[in-house]
A and B are shown apart, each in its own frame.
Chain A
Amino acid sequence: MSNFIVQFTSLCDELILIDLTNPEELHQVQAQVLEFTIPWETFPNQLKESLTSFFQILADFKTEADLIKLQDLGTLIRQQLSEINTQVASSSDKTNPFDFSLPTIDETRPINLEKILNQDSDLISAFVSEANEHLESIDLQMLIWEKNPTAKDTINDIFRPFHTIKGISSFLDLVDICDIAHALEDILSSVRNGQLHYSQALANVIFSGVDYLKSMVNQLEVLLGGGKPEPLIIPVRSFVIACRKALGQNTNELEQQLSGGTSVREKLLAAAMVEETNPILAPVVSKPAVSPEAGAEPIPQPTEQPTKQTTAPSLAEANEETDKSDNPYKSPAKATAKFMRVDTAKMDGLLDLVGELVISNNILQGCLNHLKIQDKRLLTELSQLRRVVNSLQHNALSLRMVPISNTFQKMQRIVRDVSGKLNKDIDLILEGEHTEVDRNIVDEIYEPLVHMVRNSCDHGIESKEARLRAGKTDTGTIKLSAGHKDGSIVITLQDNGQGIDPERIYNLAQQRGLIKEGTKLSNQEIFRLILAPGFSTAKTVTDVSGRGVGMDIVMKALEKLRGSLDIDSTLSQGSIFTLKFPLTLAIMEGMIVQVKNEQYIIPTINIRESLRPLPENCLTILGKGEMVKVRNQLIPLVRLHEYFKIEPQCLHPSEGIVVVVESDGRTYAVLVDHLAGKQEVVIKSLGEKFKSLKAIAGGAVLGDGRVGLILDIGQLVNSRLSDKG
């Protein structure tokens, strides 16, 4: 019954959109009717009559007048159908229970998407980026739906992207992706029709389906990039069968094929028949005929229809909105019209050029000062040029800026999953989602955020009982906020959980040999200990965390972003993690230092201070390790000239300058000849050939046109450590 309603509804929708000049389309619509399973016996006479005449007109379809008749009749029939449907629904139990169980079928065949590479790679990459967007929006909408299961709009918002993914993937012959998207679409379609209602189990099935799709799309992306992805094993068939079973549909054929029941020849025959009856469906289903794992004949599906214009609004909607313009499929087009997709390579090229322009402009201004030109006209024009270049740079940089909201919203999903696993109630509050961040940073920050959010859920927020005992509400709160501060981006993650116990950390660190007994540390320093690799406070390693790699990953990522992390915590009140990093990765502020004739750039973010030490403050330990005493703190000295094996100008620290740098929580003093100034530089890679030169992060064109080398302080310090160790 409900199948028929959906079939009929979408048939009517297609009639609206049919192109009368194209007889092909008409044939397709007519052919669809042959697939209908019509439960005549349950219909009242009036409906039977209308249906018969509807099919009659459709079969003898000739002119536009017929079309209008059909549309009127279609609306009438749909009204009648929905009346019957609501009667049926109210008489029987309102909802079918959603019973989902994966059949135990051995599916170890890795997903193979490689054949896709024969196709137009532009199409595929467009699909990948689109699918990723859709999957993200599904995640987001699902979370909204979970909070408000009765919202009709939300279901439509979830349904729509699945539908698009199904459509494009079937067009591109991505059978596995198409099958899963299709199965989920069916489930959602039942939800729209009111046959299924929200349940945790249902949401979990959809989420796991989304995860399958994500990993397959991800695989596609790797393949497109020319890489070799890990073999991926996804129980596509079992998943599809389980979905269909849950919807009470026939799955015998699929199951038979899984166990290898039908012979290849029979399948080929079946496929050939399908091809005859429905030419558009054929590409989707004829493929499985060759690969024995997949279904050979389409099981009549409510939404399995030509991919181009299938709109299947639920019956309730059909009643409410007979107006065609209220089609839910239209809204995304409106939203995307304001944006333009641009290849990131082009964008990076533009930014590079703008960077060049800025440098050339600086050089030009430098020349002017050097030549002491006084011509008024020239100076005005040039200052005008400088203004234009500066605003051009500003604009170009903003092109790369994207709101951080996407990344933040992904955290909602993480919190949902993790809190479910841990059996905690956790609310995630997002603030400042519209803060704009460089695209590269957004990509880089995702992973560390995941780790931090997971940590907060696991270690920060207590179990429900513990919270109640501590006199808190049983629902924990995690607040994730973003904002700009002093030319940097600041992201804070705050929880109202148990906080970090400095004593416990201290003892643990001692046990693990991270600190020596009796070392005096401030609370801040103790908190930083949790960032050490392999340090985990979790008593047991769980699925969620406790392996001790998490915070280490966070630190690695931060270093890459030239960012910093602050931890503050009050016992039993909660913890605050503050991440700070620069607005953009392309431009960096650096201190130019000189060793003999060579100029090196030290990122200012690493620099604590620079000074010329007094001779009595330079000490050696055992005649080897050199130290500099800066305000009663002993700091190990690194001679840059020694490290890079170049001739220095000044040998003793008291003749040169020591730059005190910090990285990874360690402090070092770097000896250089003198400081040559501070400059904003555009960072350029030195290329593959110098990749193994770890202590140098890249090069930058300086004001005089020469290239300066940018020091990677973290690596410099680390390699020094390993040398000594």
Chain B
Amino acid sequence: MENLGSATEQKLNISGKFLTFLLDKEEYGIEVLRIKEIVGLMDITPIPMSPNFVKGIINLRGKIIPVIDLRLKFELNAAAYDDKTCIVVTELSTNNTSFTMGLIVDTVCEVLTVTPDIVEKTPKFGNNFDPKFILGVAKVRNQIKTLLDINGILSQEELVVLDSLE
């Protein structure tokens, strides 16, 4: 295993379990350790003056947590929610404080065990797509699954658009 890392630069040292889910027919993965639970879709209270990907807040057994639509966040085509739509509840952290956030995904697929030998560095796309928050791409059975640094994507995010006040 050791010489694998040096054999090719393309290999990244990423391993562990990832939960994969579908967004517009593509499969993505998030570290299982970041995930608290998966719940079905429930009543969402919209929050005024927030960007379109912020769907609102839900009452998760007494705790109020924000919910965002990952499709909209990644600027994919919006889709109507159906009975397969889930909310993946994740625990994120910014500077020592952790917070919970729900992510709306098309459906969850599996828990994937990732070893360094199946992960490749994100290829360069050449357009303005920012691969900073993509940990790498896992190749499994002729499919590719994009592994996301979900903390990096969402912890920086401001969920209120103040411009809309004017």
Which residues of A line the B interface, CB within 8 A?
226, 352-353, 355-356, 359, 598-599, 643-646, 684-693, 696, 699, 701, 705-709, 719, 723
**Best-surrounded residue of B65, B101, B164, B165 (most CB of chain A within 10 A):** B165
Instruction: Please state if A686 and B62 are interface contacts (CB–CB under 8 Å).
Output: no
Q: Which of B59, B96, B166 contacts A705 (CB 8 A)?
A: B59
Residues of B85-127 contacting chain A, CB below 8 A: 94, 96-97, 99, 101
Q: Provide the residues of chain A in CB contact with B49, threshold 8 Å.
A: 644-645, 693
Q: How far is the CB of B157 from chain A (nearest CB, A)?
A: 8
Instruction: Please state if B57 and A693 are interface contacts (CB–CB under 8 Å).
Output: no
Instruction: Please state if B160 and A646 are interface contacts (CB–CB under 8 Å).
Output: no
Q: How far is the CB of A655 from chain B (nearest CB, A)?
A: 21
Q: Provide the residues of chain A in CB contact with B157, threshold 8 Å.
A: 689
B58 within 8 A of A: yes
Q: Provide the residues of chain A in CB contact with B94, threshold 8 Å.
A: 688
Instruction: Please state if B159 and A706 are interface contacts (CB–CB under 8 Å).
Output: no
| Apart from A359-B62, A688-B99, A705-B43: 16 A-B pairs, beta carbons within 8 A | A226-B96, A645-B48, A686-B64, A686-B66, A687-B99, A689-B101, A689-B157, A689-B158, A690-B47, A691-B160, A693-B50, A699-B57, A699-B64, A706-B59, A707-B64, A723-B165
Q: How far is the CB of B46 from chain A (nearest CB, A)?
A: 7
Give the residue name and chain of the A residue nearest to B162 (CB). A692
Q: How far is the CB of B161 from chain A (nearest CB, A)?
A: 9
Q: Provide the residues of chain B in CB contact with A689, threshold 8 Å.
A: 66, 99, 101, 157-160
In Å, the complex CA distance between A533 and B65 comes to 37
B13 within 8 A of A: no
B45 within 8 A of A: yes
Instruction: Please state if B62 and A701 are interface contacts (CB–CB under 8 Å).
Output: yes
Q: Provide the residues of chain A in CB contact with B99, threshold 8 Å.
A: 687-689
**Best-surrounded residue of B45, B46, B65 (most CB of chain A within 10 A):** B45
Q: How far is the CB of A697 from chain B (nearest CB, A)?
A: 13
Q: Provide the residues of chain A in CB contact with B164, threshold 8 Å.
A: 645
Q: How far is the CB of B28 from chain A (nearest CB, A)?
A: 22
In Å, the complex CA distance between A685 and B99 comes to 12
Q: Provide the residues of chain B in CB contact with A353, threshold 8 Å.
A: 62
Instruction: Please state if A693 and B47 are interface contacts (CB–CB under 8 Å).
Output: yes
Quick one: given A646-B48, A706-B45, A708-B45, are A688 and B59 in contact (CB under 8 Å)? no
Instruction: Please state if A709 and B66 are interface contacts (CB–CB under 8 Å).
Output: no
B70-84 Cβ-contact flags toward A at 8 Å (1 or 0) = 000000000000000
Q: Which of B45, B101, B159, B166 contacts A707 (CB 8 A)?
A: B45
Give the residue name and chain of the B residue nearest to A226 (CB). B96
Q: Provide the residues of chain A in CB contact with B66, threshold 8 Å.
A: 686-687, 689-690
Instruction: Please state if A684 and B64 are interface contacts (CB–CB under 8 Å).
Output: yes
Offer 6 A-B interface pairs, CB within 8 angstroms, sorted by A: A353-B62, A686-B47, A686-B57, A688-B94, A706-B59, A707-B59
Nearest 5 pairs between A and B by C-beta? A644-B48, A356-B62, A707-B45, A689-B159, A699-B64
Q: Provide the residues of chain A in CB contact with B101, threshold 8 Å.
A: 689
Give the residue name and chain of the A residue nearest to B68 (CB). A689
Instruction: Please state if B43 and A706 are interface contacts (CB–CB under 8 Å).
Output: yes
Give the residue name and chain of the B residue nearest to A687 (CB). B99
In Å, the complex CA distance between A586 and B46 comes to 23
In Å, the complex CA distance between A359 and B63 comes to 12
Q: Provide the residues of chain B in CB contact with A708, threshold 8 Å.
A: 45
Q: Provide the residues of chain A in CB contact with B162, threshold 8 Å.
A: 692
In Å, the complex CA distance between A26 and B159 comes to 67
Q: Which of A226, A356, A692, A723 contacts B160 (CB 8 A)?
A: A692
Q: Provide the residues of chain A in CB contact with B160, threshold 8 Å.
A: 689-693
Give the residue name and chain of the B residue nearest to A352 (CB). B62
Give the residue name and chain of the B residue nearest to A699 (CB). B64
Give the residue name and chain of the A residue nearest to B56 (CB). A707
In Å, the complex CA distance between A709 and B57 comes to 10
Q: How far is the CB of B53 from chain A (nearest CB, A)?
A: 13
Q: How far is the CB of B32 from chain A (nearest CB, A)?
A: 23
Q: Which of A643, A644, A691, A707 contacts B58 (CB 8 A)?
A: A707
Q: How far is the CB of B94 from chain A (nearest CB, A)?
A: 8
**Best-surrounded residue of A598, A687, A705 (most CB of chain B within 10 A):** A687
Instruction: Please state if A692 and B158 are interface contacts (CB–CB under 8 Å).
Output: yes
Give the residue name and chain of the A residue nearest to B63 (CB). A684
In Å, the complex CA distance between A691 and B158 comes to 9
Q: How far is the CB of B150 from chain A (nearest CB, A)?
A: 15
Q: Provide the residues of chain B in CB contact with A687, threshold 8 Å.
A: 64-66, 99
In Å, the complex CA distance between A355 and B62 comes to 9
Quick one: given A705-B43, A709-B45, A723-B166, are A688 and B97 in contact (CB under 8 Å)? yes
Residues of B27-54 contacting chain A, CB below 8 A: 43, 45-50
**Best-surrounded residue of B66, B94, B160, B166 (most CB of chain A within 10 A):** B160
Q: Provide the residues of chain B in CB contact with A644, threshold 8 Å.
A: 48-49
Instruction: Please state if B159 and A690 are interface contacts (CB–CB under 8 Å).
Output: yes
Instruction: Please state if B43 and A719 are interface contacts (CB–CB under 8 Å).
Output: no
In Å, the complex CA distance between A5 and B45 comes to 75
Q: How far is the CB of A708 from chain B (nearest CB, A)?
A: 7
Q: How far is the CB of A69 from chain B (nearest CB, A)?
A: 62
In Å, the complex CA distance between A42 and B166 comes to 87
In Å, the complex CA distance between A645 and B57 comes to 17
In Å, the complex CA distance between A314 and B160 comes to 66
Q: Provide the residues of chain B in CB contact with A599, threshold 8 Å.
A: 45
In Å, the complex CA distance between A708 and B162 comes to 21
In Å, the complex CA distance between A644 and B47 comes to 9
In Å, the complex CA distance between A245 and B101 comes to 63
Q: Provide the residues of chain A in CB contact with B43, threshold 8 Å.
A: 705-706
Quick one: given A598-B46, A689-B99, are A701 and B165 in contact (CB under 8 Å)? no
In Å, the complex CA distance between A645 and B52 comes to 13
In Å, the complex CA distance between A688 and B58 comes to 16
Quick one: given A706-B43, A707-B64, are A701 and B59 in contact (CB under 8 Å)? yes
Give the residue name and chain of the B residue nearest to A719 (CB). B165
In Å, the complex CA distance between A708 and B101 comes to 18
Q: Provide the residues of chain B in CB contact with A355, threshold 8 Å.
A: 62
In Å, the complex CA distance between A706 and B43 comes to 7
In Å, the complex CA distance between A359 and B57 comes to 18
In Å, the complex CA distance between A180 and B122 comes to 62
Give the residue name and chain of the A residue nearest to B96 (CB). A226
Q: How far is the CB of B98 from chain A (nearest CB, A)?
A: 10
In Å, the complex CA distance between A723 and B166 comes to 7
In Å, the complex CA distance between A684 and B59 comes to 10
Q: How far is the CB of A625 from chain B (nearest CB, A)?
A: 17
In Å, the complex CA distance between A686 and B49 comes to 14
Q: Provide the residues of chain B in CB contact with A685, threshold 8 Å.
A: 64
**Best-surrounded residue of A646, A685, A709, A719 (most CB of chain B within 10 A):** A709
Q: Provide the residues of chain A in CB contact with B46, threshold 8 Å.
A: 598, 646
In Å, the complex CA distance between A599 and B64 comes to 15
In Å, the complex CA distance between A316 and B107 comes to 83
Q: Provide the residues of chain A in CB contact with B65, threshold 8 Å.
A: 687
Q: Provide the residues of chain A in CB contact with B159, threshold 8 Å.
A: 689-690
Q: Provide the residues of chain A in CB contact with B47, threshold 8 Å.
A: 686, 690, 693, 696, 709
In Å, the complex CA distance between A723 and B162 comes to 13
Q: How far is the CB of B59 from chain A (nearest CB, A)?
A: 5
